[in-house]
A and B are shown apart, each in its own frame.
Chain A
Amino acid sequence: MIVLIEINATILAQILNFLILVVLLRAVAYKPVARLLQQRSDKIKGDLDKAEADRKAAEQTLEQYKVQLADAHKKAQDIVDKANVTARQEHDAAVAETRKEIERMKATAQAEIENERNRAFDEMKSQIVSLSLAAAGKVVMKNIDTKENDKLVNDFISKLDKNMFADLR
């Protein structure tokens, strides 16, 4: 039986108890938590640094892509321009070729027409001669009136001439 306020050996036991508690707590709880907090702050810092680096890399890549895209646009424009020029040249060449061909065909056709006409004219001439001879023979047989004879031959020839040339023209 001891009064309320009495200091005895309990004070030593309590100090010892508390020191044991602190050592245990430090080992069991404080150290792991403190280490974890440190780990977390390290990780967050590392993540932030990495995010910054990634952002920079992405910006750089974007810049590169923009340059490449502009380059590609320019190249495509060049190719289109070149193709346009080539097509224009080919078109002009084809037109010229066609014109030449047409000229050539026209010339051939005209030469052929000329030939035909000459041939027809020659044939006609020879027929005229034979017909004239036939007409002359008839006139000789009928009478020997010179006047009448001349008139007949001339009439015949002039008539034939007109008809034949009208056809040929």
Chain B
Amino acid sequence: MHDIGVRETIRFLGLTFNIETLKMTWLAMGIVILIACLATRNLKVVPQGWQNFVEMIILWLHDQIDAMMGRRGRMLAPFIVGLFMFLLASNLIGLVPLMASPTNDLNTTLGLALLVVVMVHCLGLYFKGGHYIAHFFQPTPVFVVINMIEEIAKPITLAFRLFGNILAGEILIIVLLKLMPIWMPIPSVCWLAFSIFISCVQAVIFTMLSMAYLANAVKEDHAE
């Protein structure tokens, strides 16, 4: 187990990487792919077992996407499904002893948040063109300052919310283990249970907010 606040790094091609974050990311990716493969290995028209679970997630996301983004949003469905499953797996593996969440590293969360925001702006420009730029200057051109602050705040809040929640959870697990004598496991267990809840909630929040931002860029505007 690593010391709090310290990360192992390696240097590769002159760049610095947090090796533990990368390992855990690959593990989480592996888990997600494994679950997806197992669930879709033997698809049938009449669903059974794991297939029900995967279908449930996909149908729920489809409903959300249709409600928030309209028909154009369907092409983003794989991205959003992937985002949700990856975040859920990442958040939860941090609770396994000797492992860490990829999402306890700001690089991961900020990376994902920037990816989402860049996608938002690219899709917005692609689908709406001039309208998209114009909407930053509404209702009056003065609002461009506020709008810019909002746009910059989006990835930062998205990234720090997830990062803070997950890192705090892991730190408190370590702190509680060191603080409490070995015969008093109740606070640790309680916190672990709460961390599981937090992991799920944060995965949902990140996904839903990403969807909301993307919806802004993608959905057809009837008002304009």
- Min distance, Cβ B163 to any Cβ of chain A, angstroms: 8
CA distance A28 to B5 in the complex (A): 37
Interface size bracket, B side: 35 or more
CA distance A7 to B114 in the complex (A): 13
- Min distance, Cβ B27 to any Cβ of chain A, angstroms: 11
CA distance A2 to B86 in the complex (A): 26
Interface size bracket, A side: 35 or more
Is the CB–CB distance between B112 and A25 below 8 Å?
no
A143 sits at the interface (CB 8 A): no
A-contacting 9-mer, from B35-43, B124-132, B172-180, B192-200 = B35-43
List B contacts of A168 (CB < 8 A): none
A68 sits at the interface (CB 8 A): no
A4 sits at the interface (CB 8 A): yes
CA distance A28 to B37 in the complex (A): 6
Is the CB–CB distance between B43 and A36 below 8 Å?
yes
Is the CB–CB distance between A33 and B58 below 8 Å?
yes
A-B pairs with beta carbons under 8 A, tally:
127
A14-30 contact mask (Cβ, 8 Å, vs B): 1 or 0? 11011111101110111
Is the CB–CB distance between B82 and A8 below 8 Å?
no
- Min distance, Cβ B91 to any Cβ of chain A, angstroms: 14
Task: Give B contacts to A, CB under 8 Å.
Answer: 4-7, 9, 15-18, 21-22, 25-26, 29, 32-33, 36-37, 39-40, 43, 45, 54-55, 58-59, 77-79, 81-83, 85-86, 102, 105-108, 110-112, 114-115, 167
7 A–B contacts from the bound complex (CB under 8 Å): A2-B9, A4-B4, A4-B5, A7-B110, A17-B29, A28-B37, A29-B81
